[in-house]
Amino acid sequence: MPASIAIDGPVASGKSAVGSRLARHLGYRLVDTGMMYRAITCLALDKGLDLHDEAALAALGASVNMEVTPGPADDPDASRVLVNGTDVTNRLRSPDVGDAVSLVSRVPAVRKAMVAIQRDIASDGSVVMVGRDIGTVVLPDAPLKAYLDASVEERSRRRHAELQAAGRTESIEDVREQLALRDEIDSQRDTSPLRPADDALVIQTDNMTIQNVVDRILEEV
Protein backbone atom coordinates (compact mmCIF):
# COMPACT_ATOMS: atom_id res chain seq x y z
CA MET A 1 0.00 0.00 0.00
CA PRO A 2 1.33 3.47 -0.82
CA ALA A 3 2.22 5.53 2.24
CA SER A 4 0.74 8.61 0.57
CA ILE A 5 -1.45 9.40 -2.41
CA ALA A 6 -1.28 12.85 -4.02
CA ILE A 7 -4.30 14.18 -5.90
CA ASP A 8 -4.06 17.47 -7.78
CA GLY A 9 -6.25 19.37 -10.19
CA PRO A 10 -7.96 22.68 -10.92
CA VAL A 11 -11.10 24.05 -9.29
CA ALA A 12 -14.15 21.74 -9.55
CA SER A 13 -12.24 18.87 -11.16
CA GLY A 14 -13.64 16.55 -8.50
CA LYS A 15 -10.48 16.05 -6.48
CA SER A 16 -11.96 16.74 -3.04
CA ALA A 17 -14.91 14.37 -3.54
CA VAL A 18 -12.65 11.71 -5.03
CA GLY A 19 -10.05 12.14 -2.30
CA SER A 20 -12.68 11.83 0.41
CA ARG A 21 -14.16 8.63 -0.99
CA LEU A 22 -10.73 7.15 -1.72
CA ALA A 23 -9.48 7.87 1.80
CA ARG A 24 -12.59 6.31 3.31
CA HIS A 25 -12.18 3.19 1.16
CA LEU A 26 -8.53 2.74 2.12
CA GLY A 27 -8.88 3.77 5.76
CA TYR A 28 -6.48 6.68 5.16
CA ARG A 29 -6.60 10.21 6.50
CA LEU A 30 -7.78 12.91 4.11
CA VAL A 31 -5.98 16.25 4.00
CA ASP A 32 -7.54 18.85 1.71
CA THR A 33 -4.81 21.47 1.46
CA GLY A 34 -7.17 23.93 -0.18
CA MET A 35 -8.93 24.23 3.16
CA MET A 36 -5.61 25.19 4.74
CA TYR A 37 -5.12 28.04 2.28
CA ARG A 38 -8.69 29.14 2.93
CA ALA A 39 -7.96 29.06 6.66
CA ILE A 40 -4.99 31.40 6.43
CA THR A 41 -7.03 33.62 4.10
CA CYS A 42 -9.73 33.74 6.76
CA LEU A 43 -7.13 34.86 9.30
CA ALA A 44 -5.78 37.53 6.96
CA LEU A 45 -9.29 38.93 6.45
CA ASP A 46 -9.95 38.92 10.20
CA LYS A 47 -6.78 40.91 10.75
CA GLY A 48 -7.70 43.39 8.01
CA LEU A 49 -4.50 42.77 6.04
CA ASP A 50 -3.98 44.23 2.59
CA LEU A 51 -4.10 41.10 0.43
CA HIS A 52 -1.66 42.69 -2.02
CA ASP A 53 0.92 43.22 0.75
CA GLU A 54 3.12 40.17 0.32
CA ALA A 55 5.36 41.07 3.26
CA ALA A 56 2.40 41.18 5.65
CA LEU A 57 1.06 37.88 4.31
CA ALA A 58 4.52 36.31 4.58
CA ALA A 59 4.76 37.34 8.23
CA LEU A 60 1.31 35.89 8.84
CA GLY A 61 2.30 32.59 7.26
CA ALA A 62 5.48 32.38 9.32
CA SER A 63 3.62 32.91 12.59
CA VAL A 64 0.44 30.89 12.11
CA ASN A 65 -0.24 27.70 14.03
CA MET A 66 -2.49 25.41 12.02
CA GLU A 67 -3.90 21.96 12.72
CA VAL A 68 -5.99 19.64 10.57
CA THR A 69 -7.92 17.14 12.67
CA PRO A 70 -10.43 14.38 11.78
CA GLY A 71 -14.09 15.27 11.75
CA PRO A 72 -16.66 13.97 14.26
CA ALA A 73 -17.44 10.26 14.50
CA ASP A 74 -20.63 10.65 12.44
CA ASP A 75 -18.75 12.44 9.64
CA PRO A 76 -15.04 11.54 9.81
CA ASP A 77 -14.43 12.83 6.27
CA ALA A 78 -15.23 16.40 7.32
CA SER A 79 -11.80 17.42 8.60
CA ARG A 80 -11.64 20.37 10.95
CA VAL A 81 -9.10 23.17 10.51
CA LEU A 82 -7.87 25.05 13.56
CA VAL A 83 -5.97 28.33 13.25
CA ASN A 84 -4.13 29.46 16.36
CA GLY A 85 -6.40 27.16 18.36
CA THR A 86 -9.68 28.39 16.84
CA ASP A 87 -11.83 26.12 14.65
CA VAL A 88 -12.54 28.11 11.47
CA THR A 89 -13.90 25.23 9.38
CA ASN A 90 -17.45 26.55 9.10
CA ARG A 91 -16.23 29.84 7.62
CA LEU A 92 -13.99 28.43 4.91
CA ARG A 93 -16.64 28.22 2.16
CA SER A 94 -17.85 31.79 2.64
CA PRO A 95 -17.86 34.03 -0.46
CA ASP A 96 -15.35 36.52 0.96
CA VAL A 97 -12.80 33.77 1.63
CA GLY A 98 -13.42 32.20 -1.78
CA ASP A 99 -12.86 35.53 -3.54
CA ALA A 100 -9.59 36.20 -1.69
CA VAL A 101 -7.88 32.83 -1.41
CA SER A 102 -6.01 33.03 -4.74
CA LEU A 103 -4.38 36.31 -3.71
CA VAL A 104 -3.13 34.79 -0.48
CA SER A 105 -2.14 31.38 -1.79
CA ARG A 106 0.07 32.76 -4.56
CA VAL A 107 2.48 34.39 -2.08
CA PRO A 108 5.66 32.23 -2.01
CA ALA A 109 6.25 32.61 1.74
CA VAL A 110 2.67 31.58 2.50
CA ARG A 111 3.04 28.48 0.34
CA LYS A 112 6.37 27.66 2.00
CA ALA A 113 4.75 27.79 5.44
CA MET A 114 1.80 25.64 4.36
CA VAL A 115 4.03 23.09 2.61
CA ALA A 116 6.03 22.60 5.80
CA ILE A 117 2.83 21.85 7.74
CA GLN A 118 1.52 19.55 4.99
CA ARG A 119 4.75 17.53 4.85
CA ASP A 120 4.70 17.16 8.61
CA ILE A 121 1.15 15.79 8.46
CA ALA A 122 2.08 13.37 5.65
CA SER A 123 5.14 12.07 7.49
CA ASP A 124 2.90 9.76 9.56
CA GLY A 125 1.82 7.94 6.37
CA SER A 126 -1.55 6.52 5.29
CA VAL A 127 -2.70 9.86 3.88
CA VAL A 128 -4.59 11.03 0.80
CA MET A 129 -3.54 14.63 0.23
CA VAL A 130 -5.51 16.82 -2.15
CA GLY A 131 -4.45 20.14 -3.64
CA ARG A 132 -2.78 21.87 -6.57
CA ASP A 133 0.92 21.22 -5.96
CA ILE A 134 0.97 18.00 -3.95
CA GLY A 135 2.60 15.78 -6.57
CA THR A 136 4.98 18.45 -7.82
CA VAL A 137 6.05 20.23 -4.61
CA VAL A 138 4.60 18.98 -1.34
CA LEU A 139 5.07 15.23 -1.86
CA PRO A 140 7.18 14.82 -5.00
CA ASP A 141 8.18 11.32 -3.87
CA ALA A 142 4.62 10.12 -3.28
CA PRO A 143 4.39 6.60 -4.73
CA LEU A 144 1.04 7.36 -6.35
CA LYS A 145 0.04 10.66 -7.92
CA ALA A 146 -3.16 11.50 -9.77
CA TYR A 147 -4.08 14.68 -11.63
CA LEU A 148 -7.79 15.20 -12.24
CA ASP A 149 -8.95 17.53 -14.98
CA ALA A 150 -12.14 18.49 -16.78
CA SER A 151 -13.25 21.06 -19.33
CA VAL A 152 -14.07 24.58 -18.17
CA GLU A 153 -17.67 23.98 -19.24
CA GLU A 154 -18.03 20.87 -17.09
CA ARG A 155 -16.27 22.41 -14.12
CA SER A 156 -18.47 25.49 -14.38
CA ARG A 157 -21.58 23.30 -14.40
CA ARG A 158 -20.40 21.45 -11.30
CA ARG A 159 -19.47 24.57 -9.37
CA HIS A 160 -22.71 26.32 -10.36
CA ALA A 161 -24.69 23.35 -9.02
CA GLU A 162 -22.72 23.48 -5.75
CA LEU A 163 -23.42 27.19 -5.34
CA GLN A 164 -27.11 26.76 -6.09
CA ALA A 165 -27.31 24.00 -3.48
CA ALA A 166 -25.75 26.44 -1.01
CA GLY A 167 -28.37 29.06 -1.82
CA ARG A 168 -26.18 31.36 -3.88
CA THR A 169 -27.41 33.00 -7.06
CA GLU A 170 -24.41 33.52 -9.34
CA SER A 171 -25.11 32.88 -13.01
CA ILE A 172 -23.23 30.09 -14.74
CA GLU A 173 -21.55 32.74 -16.91
CA ASP A 174 -20.18 34.45 -13.78
CA VAL A 175 -19.01 31.11 -12.42
CA ARG A 176 -17.21 30.36 -15.68
CA GLU A 177 -15.41 33.71 -15.54
CA GLN A 178 -14.38 33.12 -11.93
CA LEU A 179 -13.00 29.67 -12.77
CA ALA A 180 -11.07 31.01 -15.75
CA LEU A 181 -9.51 33.70 -13.56
CA ARG A 182 -8.65 31.17 -10.85
CA ASP A 183 -7.10 28.84 -13.46
CA GLU A 184 -4.97 31.71 -14.77
CA ILE A 185 -3.71 32.67 -11.32
CA ASP A 186 -3.02 29.08 -10.29
CA SER A 187 -1.25 28.04 -13.49
CA GLN A 188 0.82 31.18 -14.00
CA ARG A 189 2.05 31.94 -10.47
CA ASP A 190 5.83 31.84 -10.10
CA THR A 191 5.78 29.51 -7.08
CA SER A 192 4.23 26.04 -7.35
CA PRO A 193 2.15 26.59 -10.49
CA LEU A 194 -0.71 24.20 -11.11
CA ARG A 195 0.44 21.40 -13.42
CA PRO A 196 0.50 17.60 -13.40
CA ALA A 197 3.61 15.90 -12.06
CA ASP A 198 5.61 14.15 -14.78
CA ASP A 199 4.71 10.75 -13.31
CA ALA A 200 1.09 11.51 -12.43
CA LEU A 201 -1.88 9.49 -13.64
CA VAL A 202 -3.89 12.12 -15.56
CA ILE A 203 -7.65 11.50 -15.57
CA GLN A 204 -10.17 13.50 -17.60
CA THR A 205 -13.29 13.42 -15.47
CA ASP A 206 -15.86 15.07 -17.78
CA ASN A 207 -17.84 11.90 -18.43
CA MET A 208 -16.97 10.04 -15.25
CA THR A 209 -18.73 9.69 -11.92
CA ILE A 210 -16.87 10.14 -8.65
CA GLN A 211 -16.84 6.37 -8.18
CA ASN A 212 -15.48 5.86 -11.72
CA VAL A 213 -12.50 8.04 -10.86
CA VAL A 214 -11.99 6.37 -7.48
CA ASP A 215 -12.02 2.96 -9.15
CA ARG A 216 -9.43 4.09 -11.69
CA ILE A 217 -7.10 5.24 -8.90
CA LEU A 218 -7.71 2.02 -6.98
CA GLU A 219 -6.52 0.11 -10.04
CA GLU A 220 -3.19 1.89 -9.62
CA VAL A 221 -3.15 1.20 -5.87
Tell me the per-residue pLDDT of 39-54, one tens digit each, with 9 for 90 and over: 999 999 999 999 999 9
The parent domain of residue 98 ranges over: 4-215
CB under 8 Å to 127, separation ≥6 — which residues?
A: 3, 4, 5, 23, 28, 29, 30, 31, 121
What's the domain count of the chain? Answer: 1
46-55: long-range contacts, CB 8 A cutoff, minimum separation 24:
51/100, 51/103, 51/104, 52/103, 54/107, 54/109
Q: Is residue 221 part of a domain?
A: no
Residue 149 near residue 10, CB atoms below 8 Å: yes
Q: Is residue 220 part of a domain?
A: no
Q: Is residue 164 part of a domain?
A: yes
d(CA 218, CA 214) in angstroms, rounded, equals: 6
Which spans in 166-209 are helix H?
172-188
Q: Is residue 140 part of a domain?
A: yes
The domain that contains 114 carries what CATH number? Answer: 3.40.50.300
**What's the predicted TM-score (pTM) here?**
0.90
Q: Is residue 120 part of a domain?
A: yes
Tens-place pLDDT, residues 122-152: 999 999 999 999 999 999 999 999 999 999 9
Q: DSSP character for 14?
A: S
